[in-house]
Structure 1
Amino acid sequence: MDIFNTLFLAGLVVVLLVVIRWKSKMRRLLLSPGPLALPLLGNLVMLNKRAPFKSFLKWSKTYGPVMTVYLGPQRVVVLVGYDAVKEALVDQADDFAGRASIPFMHRVVKGYGLVISNGDRWRQLRRFTLTTLRDFGMGRRRIEYWIQEESRHLQNSLRETKSAPFDPTFYLSRAVSNVICALVFGQRFSYEDSNLLRLFQIITAILRFGSSPWGQAYNVFPWLMEHLPGRHQTLLREVDELKAFIVEKIRTHKESMDPDNPRDFIDCFLIRLNQEKDSPETEFHYDNMVSTVLNLFLAGTETTSTTIRYALMLLIKYTHIQEQMQKEIDTVIGTERNSLMQDRKALPFTDAVIHEVQRYLDLVPFSLPHYATHNISFRGYAIPKGTVIIPLLHSVLKDEGMWDNPWTFDPNNFLDANGNFRNNPAFIPFSAGKRSCVGESLARMELFMFIVSLLQHFTFSSPGGPDSVDPTPELSSFGNLPRMYQLIATPR
């Protein structure tokens, strides 16, 4: 009995010493506060399953703009509101430049490419991608001509519907995708290309999976999901079709490339790969090329086309806004000539509506997660190395201190008292800082020029009228995905 008591007391002392040491460490490493977490599950059981970011916004009212939550066993620091997000991504940009490894994306690209890489790989690929896309016209007049040309193809395809209801999803995907395809592959594709339609279906399925509860489960418990049957197993096989398409394009580029006259992004990457083939430090190798092209193809197709689809939905819902945009466009541009980016300053209401569509849609409410590649000190709190960091873009685009009407669709959020366009620093749908979207300037051009050209030539409605359109998202997680709807495009 005495031995038992002695062992019990010794064990109790050890436990107390461990607790004291842990508390001492926590005092030195002051972690941000957050809701009480369960072992293994963390705060998952408390999350709003249909819109997890709403839970974060609710918790921030108790724990403040910098808080710690646990998604399963993974510690996550969530930054809420414009001030906290801007301070992290812009003022402490170097500290917050790390990218978390999103398990499903990592499974697809195996850590290669631009989007989820870190360190020297990310720096080399980002610098090369930005420079190369700009050299081929991103953000410049050359791209304007491509968008104008693609707008004409889109208009012709809409006329062929003869004012009958149709699902606009793949009509818009084909048009938007052809712009990024011109930059990356050096060509546009026919709207009748059935193989390309199949690829668009896969891209849409990827985004929908990532915003579904099944996709959330994969990213929290990838080690478990890998061994379970389900949609993710089929989708991973379908992603291989996307990669095979890119691999084939790279192969044909190799056969026809002239190193002195690069045609597109792939040619430039192949040239750089050949130049540095003997360097052990290079990141310009085949795996990074395939994954970076896949990154550009996915992002350059789905995000912008989804935003345009949502814009048309809102213009059906709010017919007076559509009419006011058309009146402004008719006055400034008319219906004969093509729109140019320089027209934007003369179209303040139209510009305000397009910005408000992006703000209200809030397409990627979590942003892509960041990662502490080293110990970070932020606002008096410690963010230990290995922590996932979520700059909650939803909380910035809906920040009640930054917007007059954050929870309603209101173009006046971007207009002053005289009807002039006014920007807002909290408008960061493409994120901010060193990890902001490399295609931001291209997306801005596409949104403006495609939407203006569509309104020049068509009036949009839906079979059930404005009240039949529901602008609330169908899925809300990684992305806010608009509901499907039937569109009627009536020539003007």
Structure 2
Amino acid sequence: MNGQKFTWTLQNLVKSLYRRVERGTKSILMPLDLEWGVIKTLVGVMGRCPNSFAHIYGDIFSLRRGSTKIVYVSGYKMVKEALVTQVDSFARYVTPLFGEIYQGRGLSFSNGYSWRKQQQFAVSHLKNFGEGKKTLEHHIQRECHFLCEAFKEEQGHPFDPLVKINNAVANVIGTLVFGQRYEYDDIQFQKLLRMSAESVHLTGSVWNEWYDAFPSIMSRIPGPHHIIITNYRRLAAFLKEKIEKHKLDWDPNEPRDYIDTYLAEIEKRKNDKEARFDLDNLAWCMVDLFEGGTGTTTTTLCWALLYMMKYPLIQEKVQEEIDRMIGRSSICTLADKASMPYTNAVLHEVHRKGNIVPLNMSRVAIKDTTLGSYFIPKGTVMITNLSSVLNDKREWETPDTFNPGHFLDSGGHFRRRDAFFPFSAGKRLCPGEYLARAELFLLFTILLQTFTFCPSPGEEPSLDSHLGFTRAPMPYKFCAVPR
């Protein structure tokens, strides 16, 4: 079945299940009696399924997952209203599976006062290490060197870059969080990364959806969903070992990494129990930083290099700017970003078209509220469609095209765009945003400074993707030709 016929069939299926639409009434939602598990399955097949529903039923519609009503929000204006304007009306929705795993700990699946304090601390640490001490820049530059050496070992022959890139990205966040980098062939390191990748893959699978729909049943029967729980607990146990080692030679006056600064914060907040600064919460915050700081950045960089291979003229323009502003032998710094508008625009367009998190993490209404003209009762789960923002035809000149010009003005200067939410928006913005932007700029620029990326002989680069917890390119190979 071709894509057009599938879309037509899907639309008619949904119309047959769609029971009523009551327009112009503020107290009524637009229900679709279609199970969320079906939606997720169709997303995996079609990729653009949620946007198709939005085109038919508007920027706000509702679905049901078992007994849970889910409001789906699309389009820049409505998503901004939900995440920014109405931010105090919603909190993080903790799914049954991750409620079982996190139990209110960490950064991603907590709410209230403790979450605010943990979030503020994490953002402050990552930013201070990046700006105040130049530690972040140094770590990334060093890891770029190791990554370039790993690419050179392939001697210009075709290879899959995913594992090497994942090694480099994980080492950057690992160095900042627990003060250690690993060789790319370290057995323990590779086991850790495979376990993390497996968890991310299974989180985007139907097993996670079934657990969330039927937690009391799924918790009692075997299946891959138990692997998710086990892997997260193993990662937390690994990080707790790092914490114990840090305690042996901890010097509060010489903080080396996130663990050291957190240990100092524990001492500082002994009388503030509600903030939950303790060793157990430290481990789960580290889980979030390591998982979130590895997978998404790795996927984005894989998209960036794939786009450069797909569009060689754009790659050439990036390299021309690098040669002009930095040269072939100088080390790229974060300060160079301000004088490299085209490279900056290309990276922003990679975020937009790569669209690695099409669906934002769920939120739940903590009070009765409205979005647009529709009433949202307390307890309603809300999912914002970030893909619809990054591809909103009302905001982008050529949304279906990879076009760095979206982020350049008529004079070739970099320009920011309002409808740019790759890291979500509002108070629950990704705590590692600064780290991710710094990491991507330095890794991407140094790689393009060192290599030209070409397709394997006789092959045409494909932009096909697979959708799990994130949207990633299908596995590919390229030739990294030294410049």
TM over 0.5: yes
- Provide, for residues 22-79 of structure 1, a one-character-per-residue CA deviation record: whole Å limited to 9, x for no partner: xxxxx998132132x16xx468379624258733322223432222221232111111
Match of 2:59 in 1: 65
Match of 1:3 in 2: none
Same amino acid, percent of matched pairs: 38
Pairwise CA distance, 1:245: 1.3
**Corresponding position: 1:411 with 2:408:** no
Pairs within 5 Å for 1:377-396: 377-396=370-389
Match of 2:477 in 1: 486
Match of 1:48 in 2: 42
SS at match of 1:67: strand
Conserved in 1, the CA contact under 8 Å of 2:25 and 2:373?
A: no
Structure index of larger Rg = 1
Pairwise CA distance, 1:485: 1.3
Pairwise CA distance, 1:207: 1.8
**Inter-CA distance 94–458: structure 2 relative to 1 (3 Å threshold):** same
SS at match of 2:465: coil
Match of 2:79 in 1: 85
SS at match of 1:48: helix
Conserved in 2, the CA contact under 8 Å of 1:44 and 1:70?
A: no
**Inter-CA distance 281–234: structure 2 relative to 1 (3 Å threshold):** closer
Pairwise CA distance, 1:393: 0.4
Tell me which of 465, 472, 480 is aligned to 1:473. 465
- Greater CA drift, 239-248 or 396-405: 239-248
Measured in 2, the distance between the counterparts of 1:433 and 1:224 equals: 36
Conserved in 1, the CA contact under 8 Å of 2:101 and 2:232?
A: yes
Pairwise CA distance, 1:247: 1.1
TM-score by length of 2: 0.89
The residue type equivalent to 2:429 in the other structure is S
Conserved in 2, the CA contact under 8 Å of 1:339 and 1:452?
A: yes
TM-score by length of 1: 0.87
Measured in 2, the distance between the counterparts of 1:99 and 1:143 equals: 29
- Provide, for residues 149-195 of structure 1, a one-character-per-residue CA deviation record: whole Å limited to 9, x for no partner: 11111111211222222221121112112221222112322223211
- Provide, for residues 290-321 of structure 1, a one-character-per-residue CA deviation record: whole Å limited to 9, x for no partner: 11010001111111111111111111112222
Match of 1:310 in 2: 303
SS at match of 2:72: strand
Match of 1:227 in 2: 220
Pairs within 5 Å for 1:24-35: 30-35=27-32
For these two proteins, the number of residue pairs brought into alignment is 460
**Inter-CA distance 263–45: structure 2 relative to 1 (3 Å threshold):** closer
Measured in 2, the distance between the counterparts of 1:130 and 1:244 equals: 24
**Inter-CA distance 200–331: structure 2 relative to 1 (3 Å threshold):** same
- Greater CA drift, 343-352 or 217-226: 217-226
Tell me which of 326, 333, 337 is aligned to 2:326. 333
**Corresponding position: 1:357 with 2:350:** yes
**Inter-CA distance 397–49: structure 2 relative to 1 (3 Å threshold):** closer
SS at match of 1:218: helix
SS at match of 1:205: helix
Measured in 2, the distance between the counterparts of 1:367 and 1:248 equals: 32
Match of 1:121 in 2: 114
Pairwise CA distance, 1:232: 2.4
SS at match of 2:87: coil
**Inter-CA distance 52–189: structure 2 relative to 1 (3 Å threshold):** same
Measured in 2, the distance between the counterparts of 1:308 and 1:63 equals: 34
Conserved in 2, the CA contact under 8 Å of 1:365 and 1:477?
A: no
Match of 2:317 in 1: 324
The residue type equivalent to 2:87 in the other structure is A
Conserved in 1, the CA contact under 8 Å of 2:357 and 2:386?
A: yes
SS at match of 2:109: coil
- Greater CA drift, 405-414 or 112-121: 405-414
**Inter-CA distance 138–79: structure 2 relative to 1 (3 Å threshold):** farther
**Inter-CA distance 312–72: structure 2 relative to 1 (3 Å threshold):** same
SS at match of 2:274: coil
- Greater CA drift, 479-488 or 417-426: 417-426
Unaligned runs of 5+ in 2: 1-23
Match of 1:105 in 2: 98
Measured in 1, the distance between the counterparts of 2:181 and 2:41 equals: 43
The residue type equivalent to 1:471 in the other structure is L
- Provide, for residues 352-403 of structure 1, a one-character-per-residue CA deviation record: whole Å limited to 9, x for no partner: 1111111111111111111212222333422222211111101100101111
The residue type equivalent to 1:386 in the other structure is G
Conserved in 2, the CA contact under 8 Å of 1:344 and 1:351?
A: yes
Match of 1:169 in 2: 162
